[in-house]
């Protein structure tokens, strides 16, 4: 499998998909001529707008995507794709539509057979066993929480350490600790903005200058950098 799981699309003060664009270029190489883009996480703007927004950035790196909404048969589109690209937005809506269109199994099958997969934010979240570590509000109700399970651990995209002033609620770490309390067999990767996980040749690495925070029930959270070994997460 080849996966590029990106925490966020945009860093403050930067253009859309600017910081990960060279990593996307290197990941896709020159063979992904038929990259299918899944825009279903979009809520307040159209799929056409989303496709255009992604293509404006991909054009800079010599690539192009076609939105899956343009195909009469989306299952067939995935089966013929050279690469699968899943954008961010609302994870709940993304999962609901993928389930309704019968795309979860075919995406998993194709990626397991080697089709490159790129996701950011919600697109990274659904590479996990479930959507349970999303930050998004459940604006719709999918049939189930299970997602692609391309990796055996959970990702919390946009992981934040901050506890905002005048906010008396739970921090992100508290929420993840609640998750591992009742899901004791799963690791959770707090994937900070500006970072991504790359899986190639059965090796998982962190890309980016910020650490990832690793949670597991019964263990103290660990801070790991791009110099550390992440392969234990795959076992």
CATH code of residue 214: 3.40.50.880
pLDDT class of 32 with cuts at 50, 70, 90: confident
- The answer to whether residue 222 scores a pLDDT higher than 90 is yes
- Does residue 225 carry a catalytic annotation? no
Q: Tell me which of 23, 64, 82, 158 is the catalytic residue.
A: 158
Structure tokens given for 213 = 């925070």
Under 8 Å between Cβ of 51 and 45: no
Tell me the pTM: 0.96
- Does residue 121 carry a catalytic annotation? yes
Tell me: the pLDDT tens digits for 155-191?
Answer: 999 999 876 676 667 899 999 999 999 999 999 999 9
Structural domain including 176 reads 3-234
Q: Tell me which of 7, 9, 121, 124 is the catalytic residue.
A: 121
Tell me: the pLDDT tens digits for 74-90?
Answer: 999 999 999 999 999 99
pLDDT class of 213 with cuts at 50, 70, 90: very high
**Strand pairing category for 203-207 and 212-215:** unpaired
Q: Is 81 exposed, middle or buried (0-12, 13-18, 19+ CB in 10 A)?
A: buried
pLDDT class of 31 with cuts at 50, 70, 90: confident
Number of domains observed in the structure of the chain: 1
Q: Tell me which of 7, 63, 69, 136 is the catalytic residue.
A: 136
């Amino acid at each position: 499998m080849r996966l590029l799981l990106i925490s966020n699309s945009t860093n403050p003060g930067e253009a859309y998909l600017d910081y990960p664009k060279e990593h996307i270029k290197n990941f896709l190489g020159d063979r992904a001529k038929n990259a299918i883009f899944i825009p279903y996480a979009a809520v307040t703007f159209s799929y056409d707008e989303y496709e255009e927004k992604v293509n404006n950035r991909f054009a800079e790196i010599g690539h192009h995507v076609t939105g899956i909404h343009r195909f009469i048969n989306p299952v067939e589109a995935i089966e013929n794709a050279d690469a699968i690209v899943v954008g961010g937005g609302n994870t709940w809506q993304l999962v609901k539509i993928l389930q309704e269109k019968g795309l979860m199994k075919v995406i998993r099958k194709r990626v397991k057979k080697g089709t490159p997969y790129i996701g950011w934010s919600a697109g990274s979240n659904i590479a996990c066993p479930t959507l349970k570590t999303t930050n998004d509000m459940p604006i719709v109700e999918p049939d189930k929480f299970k997602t692609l399970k391309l990796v055996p651990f959970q990702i919390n995209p946009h992981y934040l350490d901050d506890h905002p002033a005048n906010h008396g609620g739970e921090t992100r770490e508290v929420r993840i600790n609640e998750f591992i309390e009742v899901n004791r067999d799963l690791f959770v990767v707090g994937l900070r903005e500006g970072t991504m996980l790359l899986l190639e040749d059965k090796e998982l690495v962190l890309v980016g200058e910020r650490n990832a925070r690793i949670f597991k029930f019964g263990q103290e959270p660990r801070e790991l950098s791009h110099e550390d070994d992440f392969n234990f997460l795959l076992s």
